[in-house]
């Protein structure tokens, strides 16, 4: 199975051709998760297009996927997006972040505050006890923190009203189709998977992808 860096290097230009940015990629033995973004945020149509692109990539390069049945998820980064790479931190300087380190830094492993600086080596987080310098190598995980303000309506970096979007696909030896969960739906053929969409009244929208039986 290929590593995440190899899969990222192949997926990034393909997603770029359809106007999407690959924000993050998680690859495990049982799942492949793509987080995609674009200026103004992503919608169900964008997620369906992203799912088509990455499904085609994995179909044509089976060595890039886990060796057995796996979950394929394509989603937006969400209101509180993960921060993994130096460019992620640089983009969110001035925002509130939450950071967990692999070892104690300034006497603690958990830090929350405003991201004041970031470069290729580390970041500076200004919390209640003052600024703390943290090396990127010491960060176990980090994310932005959505802060509600007076009169806010669930706004976030992803799009209008803080909508968080997700699309999932399951690839297995015996694929089966999933019925639409609501009347708001959209279907897009992607080789081994079809897209179905769900829009919830809570402001969260999701497109769910399941493989369909097709002649081999």
**Model pLDDT for residues 73-99, shown as the tens digit of each residue:** 999 999 899 999 999 999 999 999 999
pLDDT band at 67 (very low <50, low <70, confident <90, very high): confident
CA distances from 121 to 4, 117, 118, 213 (A): 21, 11, 8, 48
pLDDT at 151: 59
pLDDT at 200: 30
Helix and strand totals (H; E) in the chain:
3, 11
**Pick the residue with more confidence: 21 or 213?**
21
What tokens were used for 169? 């696909």
pLDDT band at 204 (very low <50, low <70, confident <90, very high): very low
Report the distance separating Cα 114 and Cα 21, nearest Å.
25
Closest to 8 in 3D by CA, of 112, 84, 111: 84
CA distances from 47 to 10, 37, 40, 53, 125 (A): 18, 9, 14, 10, 33
pLDDT at 68: 78
Average pLDDT over residues 113-139: 96
**Pick the residue with more confidence: 141 or 172?**
141
Report the distance separating Cα 73 and Cα 178, nearest Å.
15
pLDDT at 152: 55
- The SS3 call for residue 10 is helix
In order of their start, the domains of the chain are 4-79+159-211 (no CATH), 86-144 (2.30.30.100)
Which runs of consecutive H residues, i.e. helices, occur in 83-177? 86-91
**pLDDT score of 140 more than 70:** yes
């Amino acid at each position: 199975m290929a590593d995440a860096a190899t899969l990222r290097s192949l997926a990034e230009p393909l997603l770029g051709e359809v106007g999407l940015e690959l924000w993050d990629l998680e690859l495990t033995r049982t799942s492949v998760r793509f987080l995609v973004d674009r200026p103004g945020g992503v919608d169900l149509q964008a997620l369906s297009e992203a799912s088509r692109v990455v499904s085609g990539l994995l179909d044509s390069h089976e060595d890039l996927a886990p060796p057995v049945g796996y979950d394929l998820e394509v989603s937006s980064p969400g209101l509180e997006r993960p921060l993994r790479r130096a460019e992620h931190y640089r983009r969110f300087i001035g925002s509130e972040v939450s950071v967990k380190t692999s070892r104690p830094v300034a006497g603690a492993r958990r830090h929350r505050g405003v991201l004041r600086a970031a470069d290729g080596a580390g970041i500076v987080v200004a919390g209640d006890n003052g600024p703390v310098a943290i090396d990127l190598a010491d960060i176990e995980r980090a994310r932005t923190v959505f802060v509600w303000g007076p009169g806010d309506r669930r706004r976030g970096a992803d799009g209008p009203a803080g909508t968080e979007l997700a699309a999932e696909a399951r690839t297995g030896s015996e694929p089966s189709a999933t019925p639409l969960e609501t009347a708001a739906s959209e279907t897009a053929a992607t080789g081994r998977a079809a897209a179905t969409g769900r829009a919830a009244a809570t402001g969260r929208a999701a497109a769910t992808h399941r493989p369909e039986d097709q002649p081999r």
